[in-house]
Amino acid sequence: MGSSFRDIWLLNLSTLFFFLGISLVNPIISPFAITLGAGPFLVGLIAGAASVVSLFSKPIGGLMGDRGYRIQAMILGNVLGILAGALYVASAFLGNLPLFGFGRVIHGFSMGVFFPSSLATAVDLAPEGRVGETLGWRGMMFSLGNIIGPALGGYLSDVLGFTGTFSFTILFSLAGGLLILPVWMEFKNAGRKETHMGTERDYSGLLRVTFVAASLSLFFFSFSYAGVVTYLPALYKVLGMPQRVFGFYMMVVGAASFVMRLFGGRGADRMGPIPVIRIGMLLVIAGYVSLLFEELPPYSYLSAALVGAGFGLAVPAMQLMALGNLPARVRTMGSSVYTMFFDLGMLGGQISLGYVADLRGYSGVFPLLPFIAIVSLIIIHAPLAIGGREDEG
């Protein structure tokens, strides 16, 4: 793919609207399911359906992209988002819980199709020497969607009800798809194709040390992060605190991550990914340690700021380390596998640390988080120990 400022920003804005359509729904999934008569088990099943389907559909998205259909995969992801929104609206009109659950499955599949091609295309379009910066801008769009979406969804559900809110999922997904069309048409009219990926796809390239180290480090990184996003709100709930307390915690995390993403990307371009990831991970670890001393607000918001800032620095640099050196013909599958490690880490952390919470209470989870993050920090240095500095990306 040729690179252009216009194409990069059309795809960045498409990413923003795609994730707005998803995150808009997140705060109202459980309340809506409960209004349709779902019990606790069904609420959890419906809430988690999209994530599970996304995890298992990402290889499909990777294969599509590596066969020359990255732009089409991103358009398809938005079309499926429109379909999911229509199913949400229909379920609200009909009061049909299975229909809503099916919409969540479709939305999960749309994420699995869209995300790998979106990430790989950002690397493809990046100007030479500015891959990390381009990933940083893309990450800012992702963060912005996840900051605005939940707040907007909560507000709209109060004003317009569930049906009106679900309609915005359709509108945002439609906007995301329309923003990609000019890029696709430009390629068609110019006679350009995404054929540089070739017919031979040797996925053994995914075994290079930078990709493996970044993926494993991401697994333990998200494993530790799951402990905060799952069990800190549970602690606040049993203490009788309102839900907005943890909502503000996550807003601080999101805002700090948003601000630091571009610094993380640019720093990785200039210094290499590993030094930037190191700084980011140390900030995350400091955030976990501060949580041990102050679990309750307002002092716990220091933890949120440190974790968010570290997250914003580390993530673009990790993406550059994992994907920057991969052959273009396997980069989309690499993106899907890499992001699957994040999903697996979140799932593993929620389940494993839940066992700890059963034994030691919700507060008993937090002392483990710095040590899990330290494992991630150690793994990220494997390329320096094995292959030398030239393998950093």
Q: What pLDDT is attached to residue 57?
A: 92
Q: What pLDDT is attached to residue 261?
A: 92
- Whole-prediction pTM: 0.83
Q: Is the dihedral of CA 126, 6, 61, 20 positive or negative?
A: positive
Count the neighbouring beta carbons within 10 Å of the beta carbon of residue 203: 14
Find, among 215, 217, 225, 211, the residue nearest to 379 by Cα. 217
pLDDT in tens, 32-49: 888 888 876 687 678 778
Q: What pLDDT is attached to residue 202?
A: 65
Cα–Cα distance measured from residue 246 to residue 303, given in angstroms and rounded to the nearest whole number: 12
Cα–Cα distance measured from residue 176 to residue 21, given in angstroms and rounded to the nearest whole number: 9
Q: CB of 89 within 8 A of CB of 25? A: no
Average pLDDT over residues 246-262: 86
Domains in the chain: ranges and CATH: 5-197 (1.20.1250.20), 205-391 (1.20.1250.20)
Q: What pLDDT is attached to residue 187?
A: 65
71-85, 180-194, 300-314: least confident range: 180-194
Is residue 314 classed as helix, strand or coil in its secondary structure?
helix
Task: Taking each helix axis as running N to C, give the angle between helix 369-379 and helix 209-238, from 0 to 180 degrees, rounded to the nearest 10.
Answer: 170
Q: What pLDDT is attached to residue 92?
A: 93
Would you place residue 191 in the very low, low, confident or very high pLDDT band (cuts 50, 70, 90)? Answer: low
Task: Taking each helix axis as running N to C, give the angle between helix 97-125 and helix 70-94, from 0 to 180 degrees, rounded to the nearest 10.
Answer: 160
